[in-house]
Amino acid sequence: GAGVSQSPRYKVAKRGQDVALRCDPISGHVSLFWYQQALGQGPEFLTYFQNEAQLDKSGLPSDRFFAERPEGSVSTLKIQRTQQEDSAVYLCASSAYRPTEAFFGQGTRLTVV
Amino acid sequence: KNEVEQSPQNLTAQEGEFITINCSYSVGISALHWLQQHPGGGIVSLFMLSSGKKKHGRLIATINIQEKHSSLHITASHPRDSAVYICAVSRNTGNQFYFGTGTSLTVIP
């Protein structure tokens, strides 16, 4: 596809369930970012990949959050033992190199019940 | 402390009005971005600025590097402009964006 693709668009999880969110960046984009956006707030940084290397994971809120990009293209954000405070929109962005113009996906809206 | 501050937080305008959204930042940046987010939708990049002014259709973005301030203007606003407008900066160190909390704009017919 031409843009950043995220799946699923919507996910409802029971508290304690594990979830996996997928991001397909624009082909050839080196940089990939994950952000968490709570309702009514701006996006908050979670983690950054350059190719397959996770260079910054300082924004991950707890050890229940894990991200990978094993082949330097598709990335997966995994949340273990989900809790209600994890409910948010999870945004993925990719860019050609350092944050010049970034392209954002549609986001995955996660609701933990 | 937020590195990026936006104002106003909410804005309601009549169709046709001239709209200004402001953004101030407190860190060194390599670029400033204006983004648009529709309800239930993803984020679309409107502008990326490192100096001066850019115009695209009815949208104008300006930045003053010395004052660490940027404005997004919408001329002849239309209901389809209703969205959340987010200011974000990419720093000259590190690799991430820092986002403002957004300005929710509603344009009434």
Chain A residue whose CA is closest to B34: A101
Q: CA neighbours within 13 Å on the CB side: how many for A74?
A: 8
Higher pLDDT, B30 or B80: B80
Can you tell me which residue has the tokens 């670029």?
B31
pLDDT at B1: 59
Mean pLDDT of the region B78-87: 95
User: Are B45 and A100 an interchain contact pair (Cβ–Cβ within 8 Å)?
Assistant: no
Tell me the sheet residues that pair with B104: B10, B84
Residues of B in contact with A59 (CB under 8 A): 96
For B49-73, what is each residue's pLDDT tens digit?
Answer: 989 999 999 999 999 999 999 999 9
Phi, psi of A85, rounded to the nearest 5 degrees? -70, -10
pLDDT at B95: 62
For A34-84, what is each residue's pLDDT tens digit?
Answer: 999 988 888 888 999 999 999 889 899 999 999 999 999 999 999 999 999
Can you tell me which residue has the tokens 């940084």?
A45
B46 touching chain A per CB within 8 A: no
pLDDT over 70 (residue B80): yes
pLDDT over 60 (residue A1): no
- DSSP E strands, B8-75: 10-14, 19-25, 29-37, 43-49, 52-56, 59-64, 69-74
What do you get for the CA distance between the two ends of chain B, in Å? 37
User: Are A56 and B95 an interchain contact pair (Cβ–Cβ within 8 Å)?
Assistant: yes
The three-class DSSP label of residue B98 is: strand
B16 touching chain A per CB within 8 A: no
Contact A55, A39 (CB under 8 A): no
pLDDT at B107: 97
